[in-house]
Amino acid sequence: MGDLRIETTPIPGLLVVRLPVHHDERGWFKENWQRQKMVALGLPDFGPVQNNMSFNATRGATRGIHTEPWDKFVSVAAGRVFAAWVDMREGESFGTTFWVEIDEDVAVFVPRGVGNSYQALEDGTVYSYLVNDHFVPGRTYPALHLGDPDSAIPWPIPLDSAEVEISAKDQANPLLPDVTPLAPKRTLITGCNGQLGQALAPLFPGATLVDLDELDLTDDAALAAWPWEEYALILNAAAYTAVDKAETPEGRPVAWAANAAAPATLARIAAERGITLVHYSTDYVFDGSPVEGGHREDEPFAPLGVYGQTKAAGDLAVAGAPRHYILRTSWVIGEGHNFVRTMARLAADGVDPAVVSDQVGRLTFTAELARASAHLVASGAPYGTYNVTNSGTPRSWADYARRVFELTGHDPARVSTVTTEEYAAGKDVSPRPLHSTLALDKLAGTGFVSTDADEALAAYLGR
């Protein structure tokens, strides 16, 4: 037996797998699909859910060229085939072809959108394929004529030979110029009307943008009906962020539904469908105890209030999805109502605010959070949790308020200070973490260069 090997081909993502086969007087044995070894050598961990077999009674049976919207792992259980593929995906590789003979020691990984075909070279050939989505009867997908002149597949048995048997359906398939290329899987952005959702949309052009009216993440029936097979990436920017209302009898169940149950459902869907799930967390999952260098991604959760508890539960659920990024952030500033805009308005209106001085952290502008999201996805960074804020010296809310006054041409001395305890006296508010600074080393290790919070604040006010 030779070693297990994986070879690339001219079609991006189409991989030939050379399988070790043990022969003796009884026949042969092979590990046709061995996830651990094959993934270690570079085969995608594509998560097969169905195994199909095609029996070909006589030599010359010819099938294809079929382009389904799922990945396949093809091989033979008996006999031999000449197999050919045509790239039917949108992009520069559209129309690229590749062919190889498959016997017991060859298998091929076929990515979504690549047309698959074969011709049996022996009687009694059994063609096998693992797929990572369930076949649905009645659906039609792109197909190509077996004799397409642009593809010029050199069939060992000519298609006009008496030995060749082709179905009437395959004979009616179009030629390459008449084929509509298969579009790539899509991106879904939830919470598209929120501060973060608005910042994400420009960095993921063509994404499906949904808010509660289009897709209620707390509605199991709505989630079950959504066409998840069309998506490769979910950016879950939807959340319940009314920190104080989350402590009330009315707000508590809404917070748990939006921040814990909905992400758990998305994580299950992402795991089942092989979707990458990007989810957004918060410094509120910690109790705000001082930590040298800032809170790290692996710090144990210790939320003080209901909002933090619901977000921590959502994080734990999302971490169960194989392909996930959890971006933990703090003090988010974007479009719409936020702390910076409030301070700028008070400054302009002649109001002298008293601002909390014992809560310390860094601002996170939604542009920075969106940029980090795009970076992690595009770079193929290892899945997991990443802290994402703007960089620079941690400051208190009062410090940032004074800086807003200064940048808008007002006297920063107009801002007085209060402690968190003083601010909360007589109010029905949720407890706040005092130390919210997040360590950014892990994110920097992926090649991301964070923007200084003071510079981002000046640019934001300048706009």
Would you mind telling me the total number of residues written for the chain in this entry?
463
How far, in Å, CA of 259 to CA of 315, rounded? 9
Collect all residues with Cβ–Cβ distance below 8 Å to 411 and sequence separation of at least 6: 405
d(CA 40, CA 448): 27
- Sheet hosting strand 5-8, strand order edge to edge: 5-8, 15-18, 106-110, 72-78, 125-131, 50-56
Q: Distance (Å, rounded) from C-alpha 19 to C-alpha 307?
A: 52
Nearest to 217, CA basis, from 301, 312, 364, 317 = 317
Q: Cα separation of 437 and 296, whole Å?
A: 9
Between CA 270 and CA 256 the distance in angstroms is 20
Active site residues: 66, 129
As a whole number of Å, the CA-based R_g of the chain is 28
Residue 65: cis peptide before it, omega within 30 degrees of 0: yes
Residues 6+ apart with CB under 8 A from 160: none
CA atoms within 13 A on the CB side of 367: 9
Rounded CA gap, 139 and 129, in Å?
19
Yes or no: say if 297 and 443 are a contact pair by the CB < 8 Å rule: no
Q: What's the Cα-to-Cα distance from 459 to each of 225, 343, 454, 455, rounded to whole Å?
A: 43, 16, 9, 6
Among residues 190, 196, 193, which one has the least CA distance to residue 333? 196
Task: Map tokens 């290329």 to a residue.
Answer: 181
Among 240, 260, 264, smallest CA distance to 430 is for: 240
